[in-house]
Amino acid sequence: MARKMLGLVKRTVLLACFGVAGHLDAAHANASQPVQFESAAITPTPLQVRNAQASGKVLKAVPGTPLRGYLTQPQGNGPFPAIVLLHGCAGVLSNDRQTWPDRLSSWGYVALVVDSFSTRGIHETCDRGVLADRVYDAYGAEEFLSKYSFVDPRRIALLGFSAGGIATLEAVQLGGAERLAQRKFKAAIAYYPNCSVAAGDMAVPTLILAGELDDFSPAEKCREMMARRDGKGSPVLLNVYEGARHAFDAPEFKVGTEAYGHRVEYNAAAADRSINDVRAFLRKAFGD
């Protein structure tokens, strides 16, 4: 029994660390609805096609991957602005499955949580780096949302946590995958991402939220990224919260947890400040 309990605790710690076609007139309610859709198809650029042809190869578009998600709507008919949410490397947790969608819905936004793992047979990616396909999951979710009559397709933003925050930065990085996307996000928000993977220049207004004491995704890496920016693209804002660690906005971790030699812990003051910052940022980005 002790070994079984240890396994359950270990699983909980792991989850803490990293942190459809549905019909177009679904009933309006705050409760989330399971939905199905596809990631965006990956289409080679003309340059990639030419390089492949020069080598005697043929590149073909990769079809979208079937995905699951959870859709939460505000009361009313809309059309509403919408937010695509990307979970961390341990999969969909309660903070991104319920806490944030409920909050966004109360602000008048449609929320779509993307489950990037279940249909791929993945439990977690915490020990194997970032899943690059998640960038295309984000754009597939945006395309899916844009078909709903209660969503304003011109006002869809992207919000990611931890590994999902990394995917968020990659999705809107200037000159990257955003060039190939038919639709563009209006804005992007990344909670405690590892900024070392990003060049810093973004195609849309971007807000990055980091904890001063986060040793999973060090704030210093985000400061270095900001220093590397050459001023191209859209404004990027970095907010670093004093005394905050990884997953500082997730209330399920009010009791701090040690995992892999790092600390994961909710911080009420930082959470409140970040929530206010996110709301103000979205209002400005959406022109509310």
Q: Give the tens place of pLDDT for each residue, 209-263.
A: 999 999 999 999 999 999 999 889 999 999 999 999 999 999 988 888 877 677 8
pLDDT mean over 147-174: 96
116, 89 contact by CB (below 8 A): no
Residue 80's pLDDT band, with cuts at 50, 70 and 90, is: very high
CATH class, domain 2-286, is alpha beta
Give the pLDDT confidence score for residue 16 in this predicted structure: 36
Q: Residue 262 corresponds to which tokens in the numbers above?
A: 């790092």
Task: For the chain, give every domain's residue range.
Answer: 2-286
Q: What is the per-residue DSSP string for 123-159?
A: S--TTS---TTHHHHHHHHHHHHHTSTTEEEEEEEEE
Q: What is the CA radius of gyration of the chain?
A: 19
Q: Is 153 exposed, middle or buried (0-12, 13-18, 19+ CB in 10 A)?
A: middle
Q: Calculate the alpha carbon distances from 257 to 83, 243, 267 in Å.
A: 29, 15, 12
The pair phi, psi for residue 227, each rounded to 5°, is -70, -25
Give the pLDDT confidence score for residue 14 in this predicted structure: 38
pTM, two decimal places: 0.85
The whole-angstrom distance between residue 38's C-alpha and the CA centroid of its chain comes to 16
The pair phi, psi for residue 60, each rounded to 5°, is -120, 155
Residue 270's pLDDT band, with cuts at 50, 70 and 90, is: very high
Give the pLDDT confidence score for residue 31 in this predicted structure: 66
Per-residue model confidence as pLDDT tens digits over 101-132:
999 999 999 999 999 999 999 988 887 777 88
Residue 18's pLDDT band, with cuts at 50, 70 and 90, is: very low
**Helix then strand then coil, % of the chain, to nearest 5:** 35, 25, 40
Per the prediction, the chain carries an average pLDDT of 86
Alpha-carbon span 207 to 191, nearest angstrom: 8
Alpha-carbon span 121 to 135, nearest angstrom: 18
Give the pLDDT confidence score for residue 6 in this predicted structure: 33
Q: What is the per-residue DSSP string for 179-220?
A: GT-SS--SEEEEES--GGG--S-BSS-EEEEEETT-SSS-HH
The DSSP secondary-structure symbol of 75 reads: S
